[in-house]
Amino acid sequence: MALKAPQQNTSPITRPLPMTKAELFDLCGVSTPDFVIVSGDAYIDHPSFGTAIIGRVLLAHGYSVGIIAQPDWKNADSVKVFGRPRLAFLVNAGNMDSMVNKYTVAKKPRGTDAYTPGGLAGKRPDRAVNVYCGLVRKAYGDVPIVIGGIEASLRRFAHYDYWANKVLPSVLVSSDADLLVYGMGERQTADLAEALDGGLNIHDITYIPGTAYLTGSLERVYEYDEIDSFEAVSSDKNAYCRAFLAQFREQDAISGHRLVQKHGEKYLVVNPPAAPLSTEELDEVYDLPYTRLPHPSYKEHIPALDEVQFSLVSCRGCFGQCSFCALTFHQGRVIQSRSHESLIREAKLLTKLPGFKGYIHDVGGPTANFRFPACKKQLTKGVCKDRSCLGYNPCKNMEVDHRDYVELLRKLRKIEGVKKVFVRSGIRYDYLMYDKDDTFIRELIRYHVSGQLKVAPEHIDDRVLECMDKPGGGLYERFVQKYMSLNKSLGMDQYIVPYFMSSHPGSTLDSAIALAEYLKKSGQRPEQVQDFYPTPGTLSTCMFYTGMDPRTMKSVYIPRSPKEKAMQRALIQFFIPKNRPLVREALCLAYRDDLIGYGKNCLVPPESADRPRGDERPGEKRGGAGKKQREERGAHGKGRRK
């Protein structure tokens, strides 16, 4: 994907992509752009945002681009800013699925939107890709429309939609778009632009890897696997599992097959994924002249920029393959990494930007400490279809090596103007623990942790972890011990901030209680707990909808009721006083009232402890748990309050 005119950014001052006709003429010297990008996010010209990357790649290939950010979704005139583009409209919902962006896991509207000026909620519609395509169709009829971004990518097949609580067709069907680009999109967009510019009709562009299209006949479709139809997966959960497993297994540029799924009288054809970008190609993308700022037309702050403005993206892809994460289905499992030279150039650029105070907030990606593919075989034969690289049990062929990442961090620390380089995007503690060389964890603790290290064990119950495809709970305990021991030996006083998930498929009340007992015993108090959120494109969502693990077709327990979900969440944060009633109810329901009281292993005190003095029930004494328990309360209460 070599850029026609690579443009290395050597100055912190560049110009953003145009959002008006006047800006288009000033930048490109034309009054009609080749492409118009319509996005659900405000336009920030930073390489952490898909619209900026795709726009810059097109510009570097010699095409003019106009940006329409967050159009008025009730008015078709809002997509007429640049008129009809010469080649196509490119539509995305933004950096997040619009439904996840707008609603909590309880399906309640969120009060803010980090991707909107001022953090204002309500600036994008539900299922934004469908709505924006409808606006374009109303305004311009048969103009070519290409959809992409995370929402289109993860909804490319028939999929379970948590908010509608039913299976929806491919977003290609519901949006009435002509072509779908899935994955990160740079390579596909460059090939698409060349084809359209060469005069090909949008309906004849059926050959680009990493794209999907609809056709009325399979006569010209070769070497494909047909999976269960939309109609079948909508009515038969076994069929849904079969179809999802095929999609899951074929997500690889080398070994993946073309998949066909019938939708009514049409066929959805999903080509194999696009090849990962090489280091040189990835460098080209990130060396483009981004301003790294919101478009100057915005007068209010856009919160989404805060965490990324002074951060470096060092890699893409993730072979961690957590069941609840859609990264595998979007970026793939093969790690793509930038060169040290490219990252150093960007770091030096950051030091010149207004507001930079000497701190690089992050050097990472989906997983910070991945810099190479899990094994060399992935580069020639593709990823294994039926084996995880890490998962519950690591593959014996996985190569664990932090030396390149350590060397990169050392170089970044030495740059003039850089005071501190943090690693905040998260590390895989299991991958770290499999490394026999302690150099990385020692340097991580000494130089790259800002007082607290964020890791995501997610759970401690092995039955749940196996469903999550996460390592067994014993490994996390050993990591905590090692981290704290090394902190002490290095004279550091730093802590771990663990992320745990409640109500994941496979998690029973007993599982949640086991996690609560572990947290009590180890003295950990998670500040953040994520209820499992069934989003499109994940293995866990397939489990949630069908009640089965598609890998084994065995049934999986699914906590569905709001009451049980609230109980599981409360158990993980049993130490918060307002959670006590729910915790007590959950413990009684699970016949674990032995954990209610003042003993050292108890999670919550009895109900009487929460009532004001003088509010005892008839015949009940305050704290009436017996002399022994009152003594234990006296012995342990002070320590708990401290």
pLDDT in tens, 337-353: 999 999 999 999 999 99
At 489-510, the pLDDT tens digits run 999 989 898 999 999 999 999 9
Nearest to 417 by CA among 335, 351, 353, 360: 351
Question: Cβ distance 93 to 151 under 8 Å?
Answer: yes
List of residues 6+ apart from 628 with CB closer than 8 A: none
Question: Cβ distance 606 to 615 under 8 Å?
Answer: no
Separation between Cα atoms, residue 37 and residue 51, nearest integer Å: 7
Exposure string over 426-440, b if 16+ CB within 10 A, otherwise e: bbbbbbbbeeeeeeb
Separation between Cα atoms, residue 136 and residue 579, nearest integer Å: 49
Separation between Cα atoms, residue 174 and residue 130, nearest integer Å: 6
What is the separation of C-alpha 445 from the centre of its chain, rounded to a whole number of angstroms? Answer: 25
At 580-617, the pLDDT tens digits run 999 999 999 999 999 999 999 999 999 887 766 655 55
Would you call 211 helix, strand, or coil by DSSP? strand
Nearest to 364 by CA among 449, 427, 300, 298: 427
Does residue 53 carry a pLDDT above 90? yes
Instruction: Give the pair of three-digit tokens for residue 149.
Output: 């971004």
Full DSSP string of 270-312: EPPPPPPPPHHHHHHHHTS----SB-TT--S--GGGTTTTTEE
Give the rounded percent of residues in the chain with a pLDDT score beyond 90. 86
Separation between Cα atoms, residue 542 and residue 469, nearest integer Å: 14
At 228-274, the pLDDT tens digits run 999 999 999 999 999 999 999 999 999 999 999 999 999 999 999 99
Other Cβ atoms closer than 10 A to 419: 9
3-state helix, strand, coil in the chain (%, to 5): 35, 15, 50
Phi-psi region of 220 (alpha: psi -120 to 50; beta: other; left: phi over 0): alpha
Q: For 417, how many CA atoms within 13 A lie in the half-sphere containing its CB?
A: 15
Per the prediction, the chain carries an average pLDDT of: 92
Q: Going by DSSP bridges, is the β-strand pair 495-502/452-458 parallel, antiparallel, or unpaired?
A: parallel
Question: Cβ distance 209 to 272 under 8 Å?
Answer: yes
Does residue 171 carry a pLDDT above 50? yes
Q: Which alpha helices (H) appear in 179-326, and where do they start and end?
A: 186-197, 230-235, 237-249, 279-286
Question: Cβ distance 99 to 155 under 8 Å?
Answer: no
Span 189-200, average pLDDT:
97
Residues facing residue 226 across a β-bridge: 260
Give the rounded percent of residues in the chain with a pLDDT score beyond 70. 93
Separation between Cα atoms, residue 395 and residue 402, nearest integer Å: 17
Separation between Cα atoms, residue 500 and residue 443, nearest integer Å: 26
At 509-546, the pLDDT tens digits run 999 999 999 999 998 888 888 999 999 999 999 999 99
At 608 the pLDDT is 83
Q: For 97, how many CA atoms within 13 A lie in the half-sphere containing its CB?
A: 22
pTM for the structure as a whole? 0.91
Q: Which alpha helices (H) appear in 414-557, and where do they start and end?
A: 429-433, 439-447, 462-468, 473-489, 509-522, 539-546
Instruction: Give the pair of three-digit tokens for residue 573.
Output: 């944060």
Span 184-195, average pLDDT:
97
Separation between Cα atoms, residue 403 and residue 338, nearest integer Å: 15
Query: What is the band of 14 on the pLDDT scale with cuts at 50, 70, 90?
Result: confident
Domains and CATH numbers, the chain: 21-211 (3.40.50.280), 310-447 (3.30.750.210)
Separation between Cα atoms, residue 383 and residue 394, nearest integer Å: 14
Q: Which alpha helices (H) appear in 85-185, and where do they start and end?
A: 98-102, 128-140, 149-154, 171-175
Other Cβ atoms closer than 10 A to 243: 26
Q: Going by DSSP bridges, is the β-strand pair 159-161/166-168 parallel, antiparallel, or unpaired?
A: antiparallel
Span 620-641, average pLDDT:
38
Span 44-64, average pLDDT:
97
At 81 the pLDDT is 97
DSSP annotation of 127 reads T
Separation between Cα atoms, residue 62 and residue 639, nearest integer Å: 67
DSSP annotation of 45 reads -
Question: Cβ distance 276 to 337 under 8 Å?
Answer: no
Instruction: Give the pair of three-digit tokens for residue 181.
Output: 């680009």
At 66-105, the pLDDT tens digits run 999 999 999 999 999 999 999 999 999 999 999 999 999 9
Question: Cβ distance 64 to 30 under 8 Å?
Answer: yes
What is the separation of C-alpha 620 from the centre of its chain, rounded to a whole number of angstroms? Answer: 52
Separation between Cα atoms, residue 505 and residue 541, nearest integer Å: 9
Find the angle CA(371)-CA(377)-CA(379) to the nearest 5 degrees: 60
Give the chain's count of helices (H) and strands (E): 23, 22
Question: Cβ distance 423 to 448 under 8 Å?
Answer: yes
List of residues 6+ apart from 52 with CB closer than 8 A: 17, 43, 44, 45, 46, 290
Nearest to 504 by CA among 475, 541, 457: 541
Task: Supply the angle between the helices 50-60 and 186-197 in degrees, to the nearest 10.
Answer: 40
Instruction: Give the pair of three-digit tokens for residue 441.
Output: 């964890």
Residue 413's identity, in one-letter code, is R
Does residue 623 carry a pLDDT above 50? no
Long-range contacts of the stretch 242-249 (C-beta < 8 A, 24+): 242/550, 243/157, 243/158, 244/539, 244/542, 244/550, 245/550, 245/551, 247/157, 247/329, 248/328, 248/329, 248/539, 248/550, 249/385, 249/386
